Structure 1
Amino acid sequence: MQRALRPKRFHQLWPFYLLAAPGILYFLTFHYIPMTGLILAFKEYSPFKGMMDSPWVGLDNFRQFFGTSDFYMLLKYAADQSAESDHLFSLYHLPVAASE
């Protein structure tokens, strides 16, 4: 069984901890903390109650969204935007790649 990190050992390794700190902060800030916002998709959010005190509705928000007549229009719009983005990306990068 391994012992806890001793203060003497920490002082020897502090440059490595300093090097690791930006990566850890980046991961926490942009990948771990935003995951808490995913809860909002399953709640009837009220800014006055906050994220944790708003009532839980489960999949009702998704059922309501998928049941609207606008869903298919929005799905088509998103697919068109994605295809257009891919098309513009390839139109720009293919000549650049071919010239090299």
Structure 2
Amino acid sequence: MNANVKFSAKGQIVIPKDVRERYRFVNGAVVEMVETPEGVLLKRPKIQKAATAEEAWARVRAAVHYDGPYVSDEEIREGIERAIKEKYGKPQAE
């Protein structure tokens, strides 16, 4: 896909929506900018595997901009189990 885009007064450009969706360039996403002889290339950075579950959750919280209280893995599991029981564990009223 080729597209012409304009720079704003602040030097920003808008990447077309279908391109953003295809490459998962979401709000706050980090992209790597690489200079090439032909111009500039935007790349998604390679995903690094989290060393621990806590590190993985920290990345998730950062990605969704979560700034609420700390929630442990156990509390998350309990909440999921509770929601499943509430939705599927009770007999259906006839």
Alignment TM-score, normalising by the size of structure 1: 0.25
- Choose 1 or 2 for highest CA Rg: 1
Structure with more of its chain in helix, by fraction: 1
